Amino acid sequence: MDAEIAKLKGIACDCRIDMLKALATAESGHTAAPMGIMDFLVAMYFKILNIDPKNPQKSDRDRFVLSCGHYAPALYAVMAHRGFFPIKELLTLRDLNSRLQGHPHNLALPGIENTSGPLGQGISQAVGMALAAKIDQKKHHIYCLTSDGETQEGQVWEALMLAPARELDNLTCFVDRNFIQIDGNTEDVVPLEPLAKKYQAFGWHTIEIDGHNFNQIIDGCLQAKSTHLPTMIILNTIPGKAVKEIENDFTWHGKPPTPEEAERFIKELK
């Protein structure tokens, strides 16, 4: 198990490096949250999800819904390393007519389950997928990643009410609890705490973990499959993770590194 975790950490480091190169080349995109969520995405795509990059539309695949579409640079990096498309294509990020736009488009890139952009809609999409799977008596699992900032959207809470009412135990959602959004700390903009208690009050099995701890991520997903409720896993993450200069700095929410900054950050990662 230790060797497997070490391998996952190495993949996450490589993905961060390739993502920084892509952001610097594009001169556009989000840096902080994608750096912070990389460990989680690597755990999902290399350990948890039932997927096949060579057959991305197989009917029994698990579905992964990215609600916070601005996390796309991290998702693209992980998908490339998983084999969905060539790693070199990451350098086309946000280019005109590129398959790798600023927010994922499910008709443009194999393996993308939803088109995202407007925040707060992904969890509703995931609830719909999970409900459809229940009706069709399918066994695949639905996973959805949301950001804590988008939890301020009202539509999120409508979906949170519906999932337990329909007993959607085939649904596991995650909220990236990094405490930042474009205008600052979430608790200064629209406070979310006590977040775990709110999810529990809406009828969700709720787990809170370290979003950089691969063992906790894997164990949390396994625990979610053993309950009879939809599960919400709160991922405590550090925005800008692995580059001390930008960790926990909300000003890096929506800006890319310059080529010089990317080179410096990559040296730190190596």
Tokens describing residue 42: 């690597």
Share of the chain above pLDDT 90, in %: 99
User: Band of the pLDDT at 117, cuts 50, 70, 90?
Assistant: confident
Q: Give the tens place of pLDDT for each residue, 60-96.
A: 999 999 999 999 999 999 999 999 999 999 999 999 9
What does the pLDDT look like over 15-60, one tens digit per residue?
Answer: 999 999 999 999 999 999 999 999 999 999 999 999 999 999 999 9
Q: Is the pLDDT of residue 1 over 80?
A: no
CB 20 within 8 A of CB 266: yes
* pLDDT bracket for residue 118 (50, 70, 90): confident
Which domains are delineated in the chain?
2-269 (3.40.50.970)
Q: How many angstroms separate the CA atoms of 184 and 180, rounded? A: 6
